[in-house]
Amino acid sequence: MQTVKIKEIIKETKNIKTFRLDLDLPALPGQYVMLWVPGYDEKPLSISYPGEDVGLTILKKGPTTTRLHEMKAGDVLGVRGPFGRALKISGKKIIAVGGGVGMAPIAPLIEKAISKGVEATVIVGAVTKRELLFVDRVEKAGAKVIITTDDGTCGLKCYTTHALEQELKAEKYDECFTCGPEVMMYMVLGIAKKHKVPTQASMERYFKCGIGICGACVMDDGGLRVCKEGPNFRDVEIEKFKDFGKYTRDASGKKIYW
């Protein structure tokens, strides 16, 4: 583990901040780090800005992320990584669906895709306008952006999945990517399958070691570890996960149904 200083903190939404660290960490889209918050815990977080002054974009959720949100530039954190199988772009025209803080790995994916000449559409969803993440960033990268909010305060008043269904009816895409609430990703996979669009999804499970040893993050059944073989899986792999879209596990391994 290396200790690093927080260089800059950017408030993205009411409950989401981006932490730029004094660290050059090259990484591929969809990879993550284990971030240690002194006195609290170590947590997996997607790399939202790879490379110089590596960035992590973090939703305030429980004790560790709440502590992080109280920290200031100059404070020290611990970083291990980058880890995990990246999202792989092979199509010429892609569509991505990011719900809430799920845009953290989607934004660098879109930037990379467009820099390679890939045509990209992004469906960015949030509960309400002020919770939308990285809309300007993916627009600036050159993506076609479709915004959805549950309350209709910005873009279409619907779920991301409804917008995806409409878009896949209207346009042909080679590939789909998704990150966000698991119930959303479950529906995205179903819709994309109906339209015969191969999909990769960024899975989230409770991590302890982050290096494939403890077994805390294994998907049921088959033994694939989210920290090691994931966190990004292809639809053909995800279809075999009997917990996907149904339940996750807490730190003790107890099932928590969505």
Ligand X SMILES: Cc1cc2nc3c(=O)[nH]c(=O)nc-3n(C[C@H](O)[C@H](O)[C@H](O)COP(=O)(O)OP(=O)(O)OC[C@H]3O[C@@H](n4cnc5c(N)ncnc54)[C@H](O)[C@@H]3O)c2cc1C
Q: Does 216 bind ligand FES (CB under 6 A)?
A: yes
Strand order in the sheet with 175-179: 156-157, 144-149, 119-126, 93-99, 175-179, 199-202, 232-234
Stretch that binds ligand FES, among 58-66, 120-128, 130-138, 213-221 (CB under 6 A): 213-221
Applying CB under 6 A, which of residues 65, 148, 161, 200 lies at the interface with ligand X?
A: 65
d(CA 182, CA 165): 17
Q: Does 231 bind ligand X (CB under 6 A)?
A: yes
Q: Does 249 bind ligand FES (CB under 6 A)?
A: no
Q: Does 131 bind ligand X (CB under 6 A)?
A: no
- 24-63 binders of ligand X (CB under 6 A): 32, 41, 43-46, 57-59, 61-63
| β-pair partners for 57 | 18
- 149-208 binders of ligand FES (CB under 6 A): 207-208
Q: Does 67 bind ligand FES (CB under 6 A)?
A: no
Q: Does 110 bind ligand X (CB under 6 A)?
A: no
The nearer residue to ligand FES, 183 or 209, going by C-beta atoms, is 209
d(CA 192, CA 231): 19
The nearer residue to ligand X, 59 or 197, going by C-beta atoms, is 59
Please list, in sequence order, all residues whose beta carbon lies within 8 angstroms of the beta carbon of residue 173, skipping any fewer than 6 positions away.
91, 93, 94, 95, 121, 167, 197
Please list, in sequence order, all residues whose beta carbon lies within 8 angstroms of the beta carbon of residue 256, skipping any fewer than 6 positions away.
247, 248, 249, 250
Q: Is the dihedral of CA 64, 65, 70, 71 positive or negative?
A: positive
65 binds, among ligand FES, ligand X, none (CB under 5 to 8 A by kind): ligand X
